[in-house]
Amino acid sequence: MKRPQFPFRAVLCAAVPALIMSTLSAQHRPDGFNYDESRVPEYTLPDPLRLENGDAVEDPRAWSEKRRPELMELFREHVYGRQPAAPEGMRFEIRSEDTEALGGKATRREITVRFAEGRDDPSMEILLYVPNGADGPVPAFLGLNFFGNHTAHADPGITLSTRWMRSNRSMGVVDNRATEASRGVRADRWPVETIIDRGYALATIYCGDLVPDRADGLEADSAVTAYFREKEGRNERGKDEWGAIAAWAWGLSRALDYFETADAVDAARVSVLGHSRLGKTALWAGAEDERFAIVISNNSGCGGAALSRRRFGETVRRINTNFPHWFCLNFRDYNDDEDALPVDQHQLIALAAPRPVYVASATEDLWADPKGEFLSAKHAEPVYRLLGLDGLGVDELPAPNTPVGHTIGYHLREGGHSITEYDWEQYLNFADRHLR
């Protein structure tokens, strides 16, 4: 079987469309950071189909039994950290249910997931909408949100979150607490009615239920990370201990645990997705938990879909400095030394194989490095081909608003850092092709 030769050199990669480059003058440029494609260094990508001992991976069994477990360990040790199994005392409580939600087209359910016996122990809240009138369990989309479940829709029946949130008056968050003004403020990112009309359920969870998104969030009383560390009798954070992204991903798996007990959602057809930092989370959740049927990354950038070795937009140093709680401590060893990383993000995308995976970028979102996200998807392709599947199927970054791909999907959308109706249309179409 013929496959691309490694190393891949930056000078051999596809050119960035003029539309992306034209945004450079308008885009904010932090001092000392590179938005100039000509300054991207030459780099060598680690081969997803070569073991650490140098042996080539030449058949699906070698991938599943040797290389995939090896890559998982490398990402756990050097990037995201190690996470625990589901707690034995976990239980699910139906907090509320309305069978006539959204004008009667859906059932809205709120589920409290308790990770331990005590009511003051860590827990999370799932908001779930399921289309009414389905013949049986339906496929679903599952993703985390940034400012509480109540921001996903103006539905007055959604419980207002009482968890800590970063103050943001435009989001209706005052003194780190949500107010009624925050209800439905992110509905444009969650087209609930469209998803329901297409025959899918939608579930979302506030990421702050698991770990508050702040520098000291891992130590917060409500954080699952602090709970498990105390349970294990440890005071200090281990070098390969999970960060917030792994903890958020862990919570997505616990929601999937719930779906396996619920008769309305087909747990074998759940697509996990996320935007920005939560897109990084979705990719890691899809790697850690092979039960997810489809994995979707929206503008996830550094530590997500973008190649670290390109050093374009947000870098490893910048992300570790600004967000010290997101990754494991070992990841800091690669600040300004990305070439020393034993992995890169094309291998993270490959860990979704053989399941479908979708990566999306935006022309004005240079901080997330659209070209680097595309190249990750492209360089994951050899794994899919090894498994007998069509991968991305194109060699160059497509024109804006031109979805491409097969088992690996990709699009470059016009606009900035957000998740839009256009993005959702592509994800729904992709799910239709692979889950229907």
* Residues whose CB is less than 8 angstroms from the CB of residue 107 and which lie 6 or more positions away in sequence, other chains included: 97, 98, 99, 101, 129, 130, 132, 264
Choose the catalytic residue: 123, 161, 276, 376.
Answer: 276
* Residues whose CB is less than 8 angstroms from the CB of residue 343 and which lie 6 or more positions away in sequence, other chains included: 46, 71, 74, 75, 78, 79
> Of 358, 355, 349, nearest to 403 (Cα)?
358
Examine the residue annotation and report whether 96 is marked as an active-site residue of this protein.
no
Choose the catalytic residue: 64, 406, 417, 418.
Answer: 417
Largest CA distance in the chain: 59
Whole-angstrom Cα distance, residue 179 to residue 169?
9
Examine the residue annotation and report whether 417 is marked as an active-site residue of this protein.
yes
> So which residues are the catalytic ones?
276, 417
